[in-house]
Amino acid sequence: MESVEQLLERLAAGVIRDSIGADAPANVRPCGNPKFGDYQVNGILPIAKARGENPRPLAEKVAAALAAALADLAEPPTVAGAGFINIKLKPGFVASRLPAVLADPRLGVPAASPVRTIALDFSAPNVAKTMHVGHLRSTIIGDSIARTLRFLGHRVITDNHIGDWGTQFGFILSGFKKIGPAAKHMLGGQELSIGQIEQIYRKNFEDAEKDPVVREAAKMELVKLQSGDPDTVDLWKRVCDHSILAANKLYKRLRVEFDHTFGESFYHPMLEAVVAELKAKGVAENSEGAVCVFFPDIPQLKDKPFLIKKSDGAFLYATTDLATIKYRVEAWQPGEIIYVTDSRQKLHFQQLFETARRWGHPDIRLAHVTFGSVLGEDNKPIKTRSGEPIKLEQLLNEAEKRALEIVEAQNADLPAETKREIARVVGLGAVKYADLSQNRINDYVFSWPKMLAMQGNTAPYLQYAYVRIRSIFRKGAESGASSMDGKSVVLNDPAEFDLAKFLLRFPEAIELATEDYRPNFICSYLYDLACKFSVFYERCPVLKADEPARASRLLLCQLTAEVLRKGLDLLGIQTIEQM
Ligand code: ARG
């Protein structure tokens, strides 16, 4: 289904061609100030500039012709400023679209064309470390991007590029070997937590700083692992499986799924060939015994070579990422690869993307979606009292606990199990939404009272708006108004007209959110929608209204609920029927 913006853009482009003979895009955008209009044609200025003409008379001409072409859709357009044309939609046109949008499973959002294949690399924790609050952002931002791109119809392949290879395993494995044969048993059973594995790693890592014998032992283990020593590989595999199992529990709780979890180790056998290929193509060169990619032509990277093989022969995170690109390109032929990591990895990805281009993948779009840190109330990266990063599992437990207190206060009479389910959905939703509603590049302050507030731009506010609408339908025992045709929808009250127009703008929010992978645009749209619904609901009786207003308002209610539910779903957040 074509969105209103697309429809206006297409019609206006035709009018521009016929009235002033310019074959140029109309460039229709939502109008900055709703007083002047709903949409604005911005395309006249570039045309005037190219012709060296005054834009104003050109705009007047186009506006006059538009008035006739858009007669069924809009009031006669007006010219503003240097040559913008403002368009105000007519209630009749808006009303006529609503039933179709409600009947559309995509709620009016046009299907992507062309469909792209997109590889999405997110979450990617390091094995043998407990997932903490730092892993939250990549996981839920990535998941929301995946959901949104899939909703648009793209082919999205998600891959959890876990850190299951590298120097840390030298310390972990030498630590386990100290424990002796019991280690294997520990890893097979349930009694060992990831926290304990992490402790073994930390202890050995710290000891190695002081003690060259420990350091040497760790190095030996790494060499054994890399050369495929069966016993060492077996132990390594047990550590990885153990960690992945623990991570999967959290993913399940967060309702995040991956198509693949290849991990860094998967690429290990390919690294040598990748380095050789890059050297043969002249992309990488030997430098003081190591192999590097240099970027003399790029000012910011001039003195920042990309190290892909160390002088001791070891490969790096960078080498693995290059092999990963090669693998993904060959296996999936993606048009785009997106990486979601915190902004500290900016340089790495700049170098990686630049190297990939030189290597011969110039037409794949490579995107690094970065984000800031989660801060505590003291504006410093959030920590527990003892200074440890907060564990993700504890964080989710706390969210549910706090949400349950709210449910108890509001709805004590519900069955205990229902209350727990509501608390789960509300608590989890609050945590996700607090993160996603921020401009991702900024740090944000983690605050329980703020994210769980029933008022303001929060998940509970939106979930509650949904619940309220559902209760209207329960009260009226209405099955919904989806069978209505556009002629019987009436938009007489300004509040219902305003809400209706805004419901048609869901596609624009999705477009904004996918342009630069910013889920916060979906959040602000949903929040504005809930606010507009609230104004409408205060002013316009629904069940008590006479027909046709009653049915027509029920349709607005139903569509608002559907858009809220779909929008939250794109953020990975569930809705409930009562709270
Ligand atoms: N494991 C890495 C980390 O914890 C993130 C991996 C991101 N993806 C990638 N292909 N480099 O920092």
**pLDDT per residue over 258-283, tens digit each?**
999 999 999 999 999 999 999 999 99
Q: Whose CA is nearest to atom 6 of ligand 1?
A: 124
In testing the pocket of ligand 1, which one of 132, 161, 315 has its CB within 8 Å of the most ligand atoms?
161
The CATH architecture that domain 4-89 belongs to is 2-Layer Sandwich (3.30)
Minimum-distance ligand 1 atom for the alpha carbon of 348: 11
Q: Whose CA is nearest to atom 11 of ligand 1?
A: 321
Interval between CA 155 and ligand 1 midpoint (Å): 22
Interval between CA 340 and ligand 1 midpoint (Å): 8
List Cβ<8 Å contacts ≥24 apart for 200-207. 200/172, 200/175, 200/176, 201/128, 201/129, 201/168, 201/171, 201/172, 201/175, 203/175, 204/171, 204/172, 204/174, 204/175, 205/168, 205/171
> If we measure between CA atoms, which residue out of 528, 522, 533 comes closest to residue 560?
533
Report how far apart the first and last C-alpha atoms of the chain are (Å, whole number).
34
* Mode of pairing for the β-strands spanning 28-30 and 39-41: antiparallel
pLDDT averaged over every residue in the chain: 93
β strands within 122-174, DSSP E: 155-159
Minimum-distance ligand 1 atom for the alpha carbon of 345: 12
Q: Whose CA is nearest to atom 8 of ligand 1?
A: 161
Q: Tokens 């044609």 identify what position?
A: 41
Q: Are 564 and 530 in contact (CB under 8 A)?
A: yes
Q: Whose CA is nearest to atom 7 of ligand 1?
A: 124
Minimum-distance ligand 1 atom for the alpha carbon of 342: 12
pLDDT digits (tens, 9 = 90+) for 89-123: 999 999 999 999 999 999 999 999 999 999 999 99
Q: How confident is the model at residue 42 (pLDDT cuts 50, 70, 90)?
A: very high
Show Cβ contacts of residue 115 under 8 Å, excluding neighbours closer than 6 positions.
153, 154, 155
HEC string of 206-249? HHHHHCHHHHHHHHHHHHHHHCCCHHHHHHHHHHHHHHHHHHHH
Q: d(Cα 28, Cα 8) in Å, to the nearest integer?
A: 7
Computed on alpha carbons and rounded to an integer, the radius of gyration of the chain in Å comes to 28
Interval between CA 341 and ligand 1 midpoint (Å): 7
Q: How confident is the model at residue 184 (pLDDT cuts 50, 70, 90)?
A: low
Mean pLDDT (whole number) for 186-209: 79
pLDDT digits (tens, 9 = 90+) for 435-476: 999 999 999 999 999 999 999 999 999 999 999 999 999 887
Interval between CA 126 and ligand 1 midpoint (Å): 8
Interval between CA 317 and ligand 1 midpoint (Å): 8
Interval between CA 332 and ligand 1 midpoint (Å): 20
In testing the pocket of ligand 1, which one of 337, 341, 355, 369 has its CB within 8 Å of the most ligand atoms?
341
Mean pLDDT (whole number) for 22-35: 93
Minimum-distance ligand 1 atom for the alpha carbon of 352: 11
Q: How confident is the model at residue 385 (pLDDT cuts 50, 70, 90)?
A: confident
Which residues does a 6 A CB cutoff place in the pocket of ligand 1?
121, 124-126, 161, 163, 321, 324, 339, 341
Neighbours of 347 (CB within 10 A): 12
What angle is formed at CA 162 by the lines to CA 161 and CA 163, rounded to 5 degrees? 120
Interval between CA 160 and ligand 1 midpoint (Å): 9
pLDDT digits (tens, 9 = 90+) for 129-173: 888 888 899 999 999 999 999 999 999 999 999 999 988 899 999
Interval between CA 342 and ligand 1 midpoint (Å): 9
Percent of the chain with pLDDT over 70: 96
Mean pLDDT (whole number) for 528-532: 98
Mean pLDDT (whole number) for 415-441: 97
Show Cβ contacts of residue 474 under 8 Å, excluding neighbours closer than 6 positions.
none
pLDDT at 487: 73
Mean pLDDT (whole number) for 376-392: 86
Interval between CA 288 and ligand 1 midpoint (Å): 28
Interval between CA 196 and ligand 1 midpoint (Å): 23
Percent of the chain with pLDDT over 90: 81
Residue 481 has pLDDT above 60, yes or no: no
Q: Where are the domains of the chain?
A: 4-89, 168-254
Q: Are 431 and 136 in contact (CB under 8 A)?
A: yes
What letter does residue 291 receive in the DSSP assignment? Answer: E
Q: d(Cα 157, Cα 149) in Å, to the nearest integer?
A: 10
Q: Are 503 and 563 in contact (CB under 8 A)?
A: yes
pLDDT digits (tens, 9 = 90+) for 359-383: 998 789 999 999 999 999 889 888 8
Residue 482 has pLDDT above 60, yes or no: no
In testing the pocket of ligand 1, which one of 136, 345, 392 has its CB within 8 Å of the most ligand atoms?
345
